[in-house]
Amino acid sequence: MMRDERAAKPSSLEAERAFLGCMMLDAEAARLGCGLVSAEDFYFPVNRMVFEAAEAVRKTGAAVDAVTLWAEMERQGTAEQAGFETLARIAGSISTSVNLRHYAEEIKRLAYFRRCICACGEMMQAAYRQDSGEIGRVIAGIQGDGYGAAEVKTLADATGEYIAELNEIRMSGKTIVGIPTGFHAGRSAGRGLKHTCGAPLYGEKRACAGHCPQRAKDAFRQGTRGVLFAGNARKGTRRARVQLGVQR
């Protein structure tokens, strides 16, 4: 069989059919399957049609099997294109639904790489046009993709921008006002802190919501930007006073 352009892209006919076969085995697999992938994740059109029919059947509360799927595909006008033989092959392609999540992960992984290929094509066209704005939009889209490019940031990556902003404020001579929160960091929080350091507060959200005085709460409601930091620790103790630094 000749490899066409469609077959050349990252895809797995076997994984897609096995996933659909799992959904046709039992009601729980059908319920889970509808939440694990979307129709857009399927590469082969017929498999996408079958999945869309399965979603529709699930919403009616009926069992997802070859008979109900065929009836729904006839209603949607996709039955003739798919063929009942295809449904029969899918139903007989798998004997257990235990690997449902594995098949779903493979489908989503390959769909992500296909989106990357499309994005590269869009970037190439934008580069020919010298359209830097479009290139930035495409890059942002891939970076924000829900599958492969969901960024895993280190603490330094996540806070670096804000630490740099605080340093810029400090160097500029602007005032950073400390508002006591009434919350005290426990145990070892005070050890090693210097009066020139700002240490991020690791704790529950209630450290702000439940223990801040009204002034601090009002500051947040008004959109004032701030950061929690630990102030001077009492000598000989392990308790440090936590302050809310608010930029004026």
Q: What is the mean pLDDT of the chain?
A: 75
Over residues 50-70, mean pLDDT: 94
Asked if pLDDT for residue 222 goes beyond 80, the answer is no
Asked if pLDDT for residue 239 goes beyond 50, the answer is no
Pick 149 or 96 by higher pLDDT.
96
Closest-CA residue to 20 (of 94, 108, 70) = 94
pTM of the complete model: 0.57
The runs of H, that is alpha helices, within the chain are: 5-8, 13-23, 27-36, 45-60, 66-76, 79-82, 84-91, 100-128, 132-143, 155-172, 206-209, 214-221
Model pLDDT, residue 33: 95
pLDDT band, very low/low/confident/very high, at 182 (cuts 50, 70, 90): low
3-state secondary structure of 247: strand
CA 244 to CA 69: how far, in whole Å?
59
Model pLDDT, residue 11: 94
Closest-CA residue to 95 (of 12, 22, 19) = 22
Over residues 82-94, mean pLDDT: 90
Model pLDDT, residue 21: 95
From residue 167, alpha-carbon distances to 160, 171, 173, 174, 242 in Å are 10, 6, 10, 11, 19
Closest-CA residue to 84 (of 66, 64, 102, 72) = 66
Asked if pLDDT for residue 61 goes beyond 80, the answer is yes
pLDDT band, very low/low/confident/very high, at 175 (cuts 50, 70, 90): low
pLDDT band, very low/low/confident/very high, at 179 (cuts 50, 70, 90): low
Over residues 134-153, mean pLDDT: 73
Model pLDDT, residue 5: 45
- How far from chain centre, in Å, is Cα 202? 23
DSSP result, 85-152: HHHHHHHTS-S-STTHHHHHHHHHHHHHHHHHHHHHHHHHHHHHTT-HHHHHHHHHHHHT-SSTT---
- The DSSP code for 192 is T
Provide the percentage of residues in the chain whose pLDDT is more than 90. 48
The bridge status of strand 176-185 relative to strand 226-233 is unpaired
Give backbone dihedrals phi and psi of 243, rounded to 5 degrees, phi first: -115, 160
Digit-coded pLDDT (tens) for 183-219: 455 444 444 434 434 444 434 333 444 444 455 556 5
Model pLDDT, residue 155: 61
26 contacts 97 by C-beta, under 8 angstroms: yes
Model pLDDT, residue 231: 45
